[in-house]
Amino acid sequence: MSWGYYETLEINRNATDADIKKAYRRLALKFHPSKNREAGSTERFFALGEAYDVLSDLRKKATYDKFGEEGLKSGVPAEFGSGGAWSSKYVYHGNPDKTFRLFFGGDNPFADFYTQASQLQLSRLQPEVVKTQDAPIERDLNLSLEDLFHGCTKKIKISRRVMDEDGHTSSIKDKILTIEVKPGWTEGTRIIFSKEGDQGPNCIPADIVLIVRQKSHPLFMRQHNDLIYKTSISLEMALTGFSVDVQTLDGRLLSVPVNDVVHPTYEKMLTGEGMPLSQDPSQRGNLIIAFDVQFPVKLSSKSKHLIKQALGLQDN
């Protein structure tokens, strides 16, 4: 069967070099005898090799375009010579596999295809590894009452296992975690650093969770957003009035007058002098002053008499 070279590659005569290569790649893979057992595929594969051998060579292609296949194979006046020289007769080497191997660059042109197919089949046989995440790693973050009142920045160093680039070995590396403490945070606040735990080939790193723990303070106790300040006073002060000085967490000195009689459950509340609210630090809780009244260990008869007179308990 006689095939025109352009028709063989299913392209037109205006095809570029890239078009010729693309066409040969597609058709040679389609009609290669090892892939196509249909009748006529071997002859078609041979014709494809000869067509590509001619059209991919600039001189052969020019001769074929002007004089056709007969002129190419019979020899014609050379287009690129001088002195009436004639071109040599073109004879195809007759080995389409050689053309195929030269085009694809290997002795086994289908190696890549077989390798990919084998890898795909192997991957289907292997069970899929489902990665699970390790349980969170919880650590205490100890903060002073001043830290929680003003807010601050804390940095902690952790050491964790990190996978190397090969994906199989690992090493221990340090990392600094930065915590922006917000004013008003409370005991138990949780700060989560996602997937900062140890890395492994078949696991998702655990989250690192820092839990706020409030240190004790020498002057104040905290009750939600309120601050409680407890002071000792004498029985005389409790009955006659006094003034108490309180040094606040932001450095101010409050002088608080107490003119009421201080009984065992009495408290003095200062609105807006407590801890900032974490949702809105411009708002604050209260400062509650509690009193511990110190009673005398014993009284003389005269003192008892005078107290009775003062309290109106003396019999007339």
Statement to judge: residues 192 and 138 lie in one domain: yes
Question: Is there a domain that residue 248 lies in?
Answer: yes
Statement to judge: residues 119 and 34 lie in one domain: yes
The pLDDT of residue 285: 95
Statement to judge: residues 47 and 111 lie in one domain: yes
Statement to judge: residues 25 and 57 lie in one domain: yes
Write out residues in the chain with pLDDT < 70, as ranges.
Answer: 1-3, 77-87, 106-129, 313-316
Residues facing residue 211 across a β-bridge? 140, 190
Q: Give the model confidence (pLDDT) of 177-221 as tens digits.
A: 999 999 999 999 999 999 888 888 778 888 999 999 999 999 999
Q: Give the model confidence (pLDDT) of 40-52 as tens digits.
A: 888 998 999 999 9
6 vs 20: CA distance, rounded Å: 9
Q: Which residue has the tokens 């790693």?
A: 137
Statement to judge: residues 105 and 79 lie in one domain: yes
Contact 179, 153 (CB under 8 A): yes
Number of domains forming the structure of the chain: 3
Q: Tell me the longest C-alpha to C-alpha distance in the chain.
A: 160
The pLDDT of residue 304: 82
52 vs 98: CA distance, rounded Å: 12
The pLDDT of residue 19: 93
Statement to judge: residues 101 and 33 lie in one domain: yes
Return the CATH number at 243: 2.60.260.20
Domain that holds residue 175: 133-214
The pLDDT of residue 83: 46
Statement to judge: residues 194 and 164 lie in one domain: yes
Quote the pTM value.
0.53
The pLDDT of residue 82: 45
Statement to judge: residues 199 and 286 lie in one domain: no
86 vs 78: CA distance, rounded Å: 5
What DSSP string runs through 254-299? EEEEE-S---TT-EEEETT-SPEETTEEEEE--EEEEEEEE--S--
Question: Is there a domain that residue 316 lies in?
Answer: no
Statement to judge: residues 149 and 188 lie in one domain: yes
